[in-house]
Structure 1
Amino acid sequence: MTTTFSITDIPALDDRSLRADLEALLEDAVNSGASVGYHAPLAPHWKRAFWDGVAGLLTGGAHRLLVARGPEGELLGSVQLSLCTKPNGAHRAEVQKLLVFTRCRRSGVARRLMEALEETARGLGRSLLVLDTLKDDSGEPFYEATGWHWAGRIPGYTVEADGAFHDTVLFYKTL
């Protein structure tokens, strides 16, 4: 698996090729069971609508998108940072949608994306990050292993593909 890759902060989603790659990334994540708001199989309109939403958030300036690319420029993964815009929250941000292609998992891509995201947050004056993940999902031990602190559990937060309600776990990290 690729161990050489770069992380880029994407200011706008106007590159059609990147947009197609991001849609494929979301589809891969959903079809492999990731709890990112959608159920498999992911319909094409959901892929477009999701990234249209992200594109709109990027133009507002309070949202960041980081992507990891391999040595040939191929997309490996992405993560988002949503900056709190309220006066009492100018020190915090929320991590959203850490996505890594299944073929690239366990190769350091997610860890490097999170490190770059934390550095981006620091550069923007953010000192507190929060995120949520599905209880008992692979994300939970990953976040614990990378220095995140368990903050609590919300029962029945999502309805997963099995039709059952599932809990989510909240994490935070002080930078």
Structure 2
Amino acid sequence: MLVKVVDDGASIGFLPPMKQETAIRYWESVPAPDVILYVAKVGDNIAGSVQLHLCTKENGTHRAEIAKLMTHPDFRRKGIARTLMQTAEERARQENRKLLVLDTREGDPSNLLYRSLGFVEAGRIPDFAQSENGSLDATVFYYKRLT
């Protein structure tokens, strides 16, 4: 799924074309005590995933970061990303987290999703991430206070 998502243009830290070996190395690095991974399946197919990174710094145990939300192109616009986000948010509450943060490329459809879920734009950084064609794109930072 990661290869397909990256090759389809998602800005999640990699550039297309993505090699299978790179994806395997990435997934092998994900498991950690402070990372909670959710995977959505449709039948036998992995349709999406999201990570909740729990901050372990002494002054940050009240917050978590949403990372690497992705939906396989064959399963987009079916509510999978929304469900993954809601699941991660609920887990953050269970972990007594009061603040969620995330960032995404300016102009991507994910901006609409995050705003619809109650995330508030905190700011933008220009030229944050390189695209396949070499252009530099801004990233938008969001936060959400959990009650």
- Report TM bin, short chain: over 0.9
In the alignment, what sits opposite 1:96? 67
Distance in 1 between the 2:97 and 2:64 partners?
A: 7
Pair 1:151-2:127 in alignment: no
| TM-score normalised over the length of structure 1 | 0.81
Moved over 3 A (4+): none
Distance in 1 between the 2:29 and 2:99 partners?
A: 24
Distance in 1 between the 2:96 and 2:25 partners?
A: 30
14, 21, 24: which is aligned to 1:45? 21
Distance in 1 between the 2:102 and 2:52 partners?
A: 10
Distance in 1 between the 2:124 and 2:45 partners?
A: 36
10, 17, 39: which is aligned to 1:67? 39
Distance in 2 between the 1:43 and 1:75 partners?
A: 19
- Paired AA for residue 151 in structure 1: A
Shift of 1:37: 1.1
| TM-score normalised over the length of structure 2 | 0.96
Aligned length in residues: 146
Of Structure 1 and Structure 2, the greater helix share is in: 1
Distance in 1 between the 2:26 and 2:47 partners?
A: 18
Kindly, what percent of the aligned residue pairs are identical? 42
In the alignment, what sits opposite 1:19? none
- Paired AA for residue 53 in structure 1: S
26, 35, 47: which is aligned to 2:11? 35
In the alignment, what sits opposite 2:50? 79
Aligned residue for 1:172, secondary structure, equals: strand
Pair 1:111-2:87 in alignment: no
Q: CA deviation digits over 1:120-167, x for unaligned, max 9?
A: 110011110000000111111111111110000011111111101111
Of Structure 1 and Structure 2, the greater strand share is in: 2
- Paired AA for residue 78 in structure 1: S
Structure 1 unaligned residues grouped into runs of 5+: 1-24
Distance in 2 between the 1:112 and 1:141 partners?
A: 15
